[in-house]
Amino acid sequence: MARLLVHGFSISLDGYGAGPNQSLESPLGVGGESLHDWLVSTRTFKRMQGGEGGNTGIDEDFAARSMAGIGAWILGRNMFGPIRGPWPDGSWRGWWGKNPPYHAPVFVLAHHKRPPLEMEGGTVFHFVTEGIHAALESARAAAGGQDIRLLGGVATIRQFLQARLVEEMHLAVSPILLGSGEHLLAGLDLPTLGYRCMEFVPSVKAVHYIMARIKPVSALPPRGVTRGSGNLLGTYFADFCA
Q: Tell me whether residue 124 is in a domain.
A: yes
In a domain, 107, yes or no: yes
Which residues constitute the domain of residue 73?
4-20+28-82+101-241
Q: Is residue 95 part of a domain?
A: no
> Does residue 94 lie in a domain region?
no
pTM of the model: 0.87
pLDDT of 96 = 87
Question: What pLDDT was estimated at residue 22?
Answer: 84
Per-residue pLDDT tens for 104-130? 999 999 999 999 999 999 999 999 999
CA dihedral 98, 45, 36, 234 (to 10 degrees): 150
Residue 231 in domain: yes
Q: Cα Rg for the chain, rounded, in angstroms? A: 18
pLDDT of residue 6: 98
Whole-angstrom Cα distance, residue 127 to residue 94?
A: 12
Distance CA 233, CA 206 (A): 10
Q: Report pLDDT for 241.
A: 52
Q: Does residue 149 form part of some domain?
A: yes
Nearest to 85 by CA among 110, 63, 107: 110
pLDDT of 49 reads 81
Confidence at residue 216, expressed as pLDDT on a 0 to 100 scale: 56
Confidence (pLDDT) at 229: 40
Residue 93 lies in a domain: no
Q: How many CB atoms lie within 10 A of CB 39?
A: 21
Q: How many domains does the chain have?
A: 1
Instruction: For the chain, list residues with pLDDT below 50.
Output: 217-236, 238, 240, 242
Verify cis geometry, omega within 30 degrees of 0, for the bond prior to 152. no
Q: Is residue 91 part of a domain?
A: no
The CATH number linked to 196 is 3.40.430.10
Looking at residue 64, what is its pLDDT? 96
